Structure 1
Amino acid sequence: MTSIATGGSGLDIPGLVSQLVQASRLPTESRINSQASSVSAKLSAVGQIKSSLTSLQTALEKLGTAADKPGYLAKVQDGAGFTAATTSSAMSGSYAVEVLSVATAQKLSSAGHAAGAVIGTGTLSIAWGSEDDQRLTIEFEDGATLADIARAVNRAAGGKGVGATVITADDGEHLVFTARDTGTANALSITTTGGDGGLLALTNGAGGGLLEQVAASDARVRVDGFERTSSTNTVGDLVPGVNLTLSAAKPGESFRLDVSSDHAALESALEAFVSAYNSVGSVLKSTSSYNSTTKTASALTGDSLVRGLQQQLRNLASGSSLPLKALGVTLDKSGVMSFDKTKLGEAMASDPQGVSRLFGGEGSLAASLKTVLKTQLDSSEGAIALRTENLNKERSRLEDQMKQLDLRMEKLGSIYLSQFTAMETMIVQLQSGASSLNGLLAQNSKS
């Protein structure tokens, strides 16, 4: 606001104008600020509700997965020579398992050679398995030692099929070839052609010099009289939904394998669901409560969004109270859920599909609750999104009102300033005229 010097009136015109403008501004500004605070509080409350509903939605999805695919636990008798791991297709049952043999990888060793001795020249061919790419051929010229040959084999194999290393013993250096994979199908065939014949010492064919330290063998396991041979020590499908990993042969000895339901994942998912459900109830209550002592309302007291949600959740839980109770989930009079783990175990033992019927992908309560959550949380048509959009529009409207108020008050201040300036000018003129008149009267009296 433009500042002017005070004149004959002695009034602080800028200060007076500011006070008058502020007095005119205050009622409207207070109303806008009050409404803006209310809108901000409602936006915050709606955001809390959205967050709690999203957490409930996530918990429901995880519970559905756990309900549709209950876990299983495999328990193996001590000293069995194998371990067991369940998959999603496991079923409860008991099995007699006998490990007849374990799969081993072939290991071949050369005779001892003097350190750094040149072995010979020619072509060394190594094959394993039955595929065309399970073969390598290496040319050696003059000067190839065991170390040179080992490096060449490892470089050519690239970590597949065969590995070579030099072992130094009392009788000299030995070149050891080890099959990378277990089983008779992956046994090594090492031959040589051309050259001076020195590479024959590194072959395992007729006249070859390699000795078999470990023979290639397949794993054999018998389950309830059914036998399976495998090139690896992992055997699947012989026990439904269970992978057996063999570690030691125990021929003639049968060991017990028990597969039973494992409720740990389901229990954890159900606990998380109950916690998320109670969190929604707590948020709805805190954002809509009314303190009768202080006569203070919350941001969403009496709001239809909250009332509707509370009623929907209460109806869903109450309508499923009997099957929920059978799983150890109960609802008190205030709408708070609780969970008894022991009852879940009993329910799973008597009715393994009970949880799936309620919370699974096609479960009755899950389907109804998903519908409610989708109605609330849909990003374009959901009640939360629409309410948030309307509140943001209201906030923008209030911001526009505040801008318009600023413009009106600036204009009003200019009007007041013009009026007081005109008044001040008039007073100065009157004072000047009076001074001139007094001067004339004084001169006349002297004469």
Structure 2
Amino acid sequence: MSSDLLSALNKNGSGLNLRELAQTLTTAETAPRLEVLKSQIQKDNVKLSALAQVRAQFQALNGALAQTATNPVLIVATTTAAMMPKVTDRNLLRPDSVPLQVQSLAARQVLEFAGFASGKAPVDAGALGLEFGRWAGDGAGFTPDAARPAQSLTIPPGTTLEGLAGILSAVPGITARVLDKGDGTVSLGIVSETGADNALRLAAAGTGGGGIDLSAFDTSASNAQRQVQAAADARVLVDGIAVSRPTNVIRDIMPGVEVTLSAVTSGTLTVERDEQAARTNIQTLVDGLNGVMGLLQSLTSRGVAGAPAGDLAGDRSIETLQQDLRRLIATPLSGFADRPIHLADLGIATERNGLFRFDPPAFDRTFRDRAGDFDALFGDQLRSLTDGLSVQGKVSSGLTSGDLTFSVDGAGNAQLGGYAMMGLGLGDGRRAFIALAGPVQGLSVLAEPGVTNGSLRFGRSLVGSLGALLARAEESTGIIGRRESDLDRSSRTASERMEALEARAAVVEKRYLTRFAAMEQAVTQMKSTGDYIQNLQKMWARDG
């Protein structure tokens, strides 16, 4: 019933403000429950905001961990820019010093076929045989590379000198180009890859046609007249031992390092620990840890002695995360040395308030006496403890620090840490074994002839363990992710209940108004009847 009708009825009825009364009764019935739901949403939002702070602080700590990775404690130094080192696998670095004497650089074979009028000059059709191999020192004897069979390149009619260069360049390991000599002639230059075994021999079989005869490019007997530069290996003395390599980028002198040679020279490559880098990294780590632990302490504070409680006080999930962090930091690092490594010895001291500080005296003592212990802070380490065994591969997140036993039985079946491995013979007595399951999955072990058992050691660094814990916590199924999902769900449920309650309030108010309208009609009718009776009595009194 409309409010105008209710007002009209009310003038001759009870005289009460029935709309206000209906609203008051509806509010009394629904307001307490609405306040509870609003309070729940507000609390959930506060907690979500606090979790966002935790997530942001975790990301800041992850940034600090990444910063330590860009400031390595183990560095590679060189005494000459002509021997430029590059770290390819930091986990393989070990302190070392290697003297090198570069006697000669690796070179590409360069052939020049000169005296042509133009790059557009036609070349006779036919075939051009191509072989890779090694020329004798006098350029008169050639030994083909058996691993790369000879090729026959078809030279179709209408091919120009530039077209021939294109056909040659399409062969992997060859670059050919036509060069203007500046004297009215052009030359066809053919260049191989570096290394004495990458030299070229060309054998022509032309069909004639009035163009450049293919025999002009034949070097099957000798290349001495065409060779501008001979293909050669780099020759280097490593600790006085002569070695040769086909390129000037050498990757097997120092584990985890490749060296680019650019000149005949002498020098030394050194892998050493940088004390200042270690100091900087530890201070960065301490600052990052204090940021996380200080925030968690504040948010989970129970509010004693009149102090306000934190926004996540009593949240068991976040308290568990806080305990996990403390436990990780308090656990000695294993797998790096013959004894556990304690953070306090490396200069990370724990304060009474649960935060951390850099302890220079402890740092100085350990860096002076056991500098290798600092490797346990910043980089995982996987190595063999047995001569004749080597290991490589990406370590899974499930592998824990410690020693792993490797063994091969009489049937050739291998195990690493109790998990089966697949074996492959390499044809020279060595065998490679690959783990296909368990926490060692992805690791491969290379065993020298006769080696059937041994030990490997893995150490997970503090930075690696922290990074893994933070990543797990931030995942959708991790502690922070689950709590955010729970609070989101709680807020959505409360909002839905509020909407339902507000809709119900409208129905309740309408019901009250309907009932009050019926009541007003009855009151109005009763008052009308009363007025009629009073008037009738007055008439009776006058007539009597």
Whether 1:336 aligns to 2:351 is: no
Check the 8 A contact 2:173/2:192 in 1, yes or no.
yes
Cα separation, 2, equivalents of 1:249 and 1:22: 93
Q: Percent identity?
A: 27
Letter in 1 for 2:85: A
The worse-fitting range, judged by mean Cα deviation, of 322-331 and 386-395 is 386-395
Q: Provide structure 2 residue ranges, at least 5 long, that are not aligned to the other structure.
A: 134-144, 334-340, 381-399, 402-458
1:247 is matched with: 262
Correspondence for 2:31 among 26, 29, 44: 26
CA deviations over 1:286-342 (Å, ceiling 9, x no partner)? 323477898744333355555565566556656769932322212222222234689
Distance 1:209-1:46 versus aligned 2 partners, 3 A rule? closer
Cα separation, 2, equivalents of 1:57 and 1:169: 58
* Equivalences, count: 435
**Cα offset for 1:378?**
9.9
Cα separation, 2, equivalents of 1:17 and 1:440: 37
1:423 is matched with: 519
Letter in 2 for 1:82: M
Whether 1:137 aligns to 2:153 is: yes
Cα separation, 2, equivalents of 1:167 and 1:381: 63
**Cα offset for 1:107?**
1.6
Cα separation, 1, equivalents of 2:60 and 2:43: 26
Whether 1:212 aligns to 2:217 is: no
* Secondary structure of the structure 2 residue equivalent to 1:94: strand
* Secondary structure of the structure 2 residue equivalent to 1:28: helix
1:163 is matched with: 175
Whether 1:231 aligns to 2:232 is: no
Q: Over aligned residue pairs, what C-alpha RMSD do you find?
A: 4.7
1:283 is matched with: 295
Letter in 2 for 1:27: P
Whether 1:12 aligns to 2:17 is: yes
CA deviations over 1:94-116 (Å, ceiling 9, x no partner)? 23211111111122222323345
* Secondary structure of the structure 1 residue equivalent to 2:35: helix
Letter in 2 for 1:150: E
Whether 1:188 aligns to 2:193 is: no
1:177 is matched with: 189
Letter in 2 for 1:285: Q
Whether 1:257 aligns to 2:269 is: yes
Letter in 1 for 2:518: A
CA deviations over 1:236-270 (Å, ceiling 9, x no partner)? 323454323221224xxx32332223578876765
Higher strand share: 2
* Secondary structure of the structure 1 residue equivalent to 2:263: coil
Correspondence for 2:164 among 152, 156, 167: 152
Letter in 2 for 1:125: G
Check the 8 A contact 2:165/2:188 in 1, yes or no.
no
Whether 1:199 aligns to 2:214 is: yes
Cα separation, 1, equivalents of 2:270 and 2:251: 16
Check the 8 A contact 1:98/1:255 in 2, yes or no.
yes
1:350 is matched with: 369
* Secondary structure of the structure 2 residue equivalent to 1:160: coil
Distance 1:171-1:31 versus aligned 2 partners, 3 A rule? closer
Distance 1:138-1:289 versus aligned 2 partners, 3 A rule? same
1:96 is matched with: 99
Cα separation, 1, equivalents of 2:55 and 2:309: 21
Check the 8 A contact 1:123/1:139 in 2, yes or no.
yes
2:86 is matched with: 85
* Secondary structure of the structure 1 residue equivalent to 2:513: helix
Distance 1:155-1:175 versus aligned 2 partners, 3 A rule? same
Cα separation, 2, equivalents of 1:185 and 1:418: 103
Check the 8 A contact 1:329/1:340 in 2, yes or no.
yes
Cα separation, 1, equivalents of 2:269 and 2:106: 21
Check the 8 A contact 1:151/1:164 in 2, yes or no.
no
Correspondence for 1:72 among 48, 63, 75: 75
Letter in 1 for 2:180: T
* Secondary structure of the structure 2 residue equivalent to 1:216: coil
Letter in 1 for 2:164: A
Check the 8 A contact 2:78/2:267 in 1, yes or no.
no
Letter in 2 for 1:24: E
**Cα offset for 1:427?**
2.4
- TM-score normalised per structure 1: 0.75
* Secondary structure of the structure 2 residue equivalent to 1:85: strand
Cα separation, 1, equivalents of 2:43 and 2:231: 79
**Cα offset for 1:61?**
10
**Cα offset for 1:18?**
0.9
Pairs within 5 Å for 1:385-424:
398=494, 402=498, 405-406=501-502, 409=505, 412-414=508-510, 416-424=512-520
Letter in 1 for 2:163: R
